[in-house]
Amino acid sequence: MVPMQTLTLPEREYLEYSLRIKRSRRTIARLLHRDLSSIKRELRRNTLPGKRYDAAIAQRRADQRARKTNTRKLDADDDLRAYVVTQLREGWSPEEVCGRLRTHAPKVLRGRTLCHETVYQWIYEGEGRFGDLYAALPRQRPKRRRRRGRTPQKIVIPQRISIHARPETINARKRVGDWESDTMVFRKQSAGLSVQYERKCQLTRFHRIRDRSAAETEQAIAKTIDTLPEWIFKSMTFDNGGEGACHVQIRERLAGLETYFCDAYASWQKGGVENTNGLIRRYLPSTTKLATVSDDELKMIEERLNNRPRKSLGYRTPNECLREALGGTPGALNSRTRLSAKVMRGQGRAPTLCTHPSQKPRTHTGVHELYSYPPRVTPRHAKGDEG
């Protein structure tokens, strides 16, 4: 028997001839070295109702069915494709784009849905690969990669409470007020950012630090505490870096605050702040000269992160979640309230956005944005730079 495959035109012509001389289907199958079920299926699918089997018509019908029909959704729908590309360049992940489309779709796209895996496949395997849209993804990888872990090692911190002793209420994200803290470093400079992340609302706060010392981290966390009511700070989880040694002073400053520490080289145990670091890296790569980035630019990046829809929040934003937690208290729901008065009134200098792909910034010297493609913002150059 011939392996299962579509009949060829000569085989269909022989089938038509054999039927006209009254050969049985079983005999035809034997002469064509085909299974009897293949012959029956051919006659059932390609014989017109009330007509005799015709090889030419059968071949034409088979060719029509063989044409490619699995066109990717984003290739077939111009409005949907434009929406996805626009939101990707706004800094949203494919999952956030699809979730927002499902829950808060624009009027022109209501009733249409999309899977984030479809977006990833379109970017890496479909027509999207020709536009290098991978650069608009959270990790900007030209190829999809597997995730790898690290071998944990032990490290000792005085008065350290293990994350394994953390109450289940914190692990389950059932209340507002449980935070994670981490430090972002930049290449060839001591300055960095101290980042705090609230686990339930996924709110982000970060502040500039001169070095990775415990004293600098303590001051940065104190600034974060000053931006919100004290009852929102119930616990804070650190990694095993030396900057976490300030946790005793923080507990003394804020009564009732509990502190916990991850296992060595187990950053996934505070994955919320680690993921937030990755989002910040889209604007501030590790090669950024942090001294060229103003405080107002940092606050505007913080505001963009706090207005991104999140899947675990039902595609609401952290600011929307915080507003509910505060009972709609005005003036305390987002980081925009902390911007300088000049920037909020439209005066002064805010990050300059590229309006055309040809408008290229100097390499790795300032803030990177996602309003244009490639996703970049023209940086404020260091003193002494030309242009």
Q: What integer pLDDT is reported at residue 154 of this predicted model?
A: 52
For residue 75, give every residue at least 6 positions away whose Cβ sits within 8 Å of its Cβ, in sequence order, or none.
81, 122, 126, 127
Q: What integer pLDDT is reported at residue 292 of this predicted model?
A: 93
Q: What integer pLDDT is reported at residue 177 of this predicted model?
A: 92
Pairing of strands 204-209, 352-353: unpaired
Q: What integer pLDDT is reported at residue 371 of this predicted model?
A: 33
φ/ψ of residue 195, rounded to 5 = -110, 130
Closest to 233 measured CA to CA, from 223, 243, 241:
223
For CA atoms 315, 321, 327, 328, the dihedral sign is negative
- Other C-beta atoms lying within 10 Å of the C-beta of residue 269: 17
pLDDT in tens, 66-119: 775 667 888 888 899 999 999 998 889 999 999 999 988 888 888 888 998 889
Pairing of strands 178-185, 192-198: antiparallel
User: Which residues of the chain fall short of a pLDDT of 50?
Assistant: 1-2, 151-153, 330-387
The DSSP secondary-structure symbol of 240 reads: S
Q: Measured between alpha carbons, how far is residue 223 from residues 205, 220, 226, 299, 378 in Å?
A: 9, 5, 5, 13, 28
Q: What integer pLDDT is reported at residue 17 of this predicted model?
A: 94
Closest to 65 measured CA to CA, from 41, 31, 93:
41
For residue 268, give every residue at least 6 positions away whose Cβ sits within 8 Å of its Cβ, in sequence order, or none.
149, 274
Q: What integer pLDDT is reported at residue 68 of this predicted model?
A: 59
CA diameter of the chain: 100
User: CA–CA separation, 352 vs 350, rounded Å?
Assistant: 6
Kindly report whether the global pTM for this prediction surpasses the value 0.75: no
Q: Scan for tokens 């949907």, then name that residue.
A: 80
Q: What integer pLDDT is reported at residue 331 of this predicted model?
A: 43
